[in-house]
Amino acid sequence: ISAARMARRHVIVRGLPAVEALGSCTLIASDKTGTLTCNVLTARRLVLPSPTGQFVELSVQGEGYAPAGGVLLDGALPDAALLASARDLARAGVLCNEASYEITAAGPVHMGDTVDVAFLVLGRKLGLTRGASLATHPEAGVVAYEPSRRFAASFNRVAGATVAHVKGAPEVLLPMCGGVSPAAAAQAARLAGEG
């Protein structure tokens, strides 16, 4: 009887046990990014090393792709040195980036990977734009992101020297860095565990 009713609604089922199993469900939870969600990523926290060897966690205010908000430490503005470190981190994300993000009269307009757009929005919150950053840090070369490589890099001219700005998986990047505390890997694992 159920199969006949489904056929009248132009539904064809190959196996009746599947219909029976589905019929006994009272709740179906699913997620398909971009279909059921907004497909928007937002930078919410920055974890930076401090001179004491510990890590400092800054919260990033604002939601979505609106550039409103800023960076706070325990609800207050961070000191100048910590704010400069946050800007350096955001600048790396802005320079090593393949997305576009502009503010128009109609609101934010963006194109590209959602992670890259989130970096550009974070940069805006800290007073950085990709265009202005490239004007002061001209691009000398790039290594595009490849899933097999798990990182991307932008090489930029800064005060007569070439500086690499790199983004990617912490387990790939940390071994590339000199003088990084072993606690950095633990911090990365903690943040990954929190999603």
Residues known to be catalytic = 31
Identity of the amino acid at 142: V
Q: How many angstroms separate the CA atoms of 96 and 152, rounded?
A: 7
Which run of H or of E encompasses 111? strand 107-111
If you search the block for the tokens 């207050």, which residue do you land on? 76
171 Ramachandran zone, left/alpha/beta (phi>0; psi -120 to 50): alpha
If you search the block for the tokens 């589905």, which residue do you land on? 22
Q: How many CA within 13 A on the CB side of residue 91?
A: 20
Q: How many angstroms separate the CA atoms of 188 and 47, rounded?
A: 9
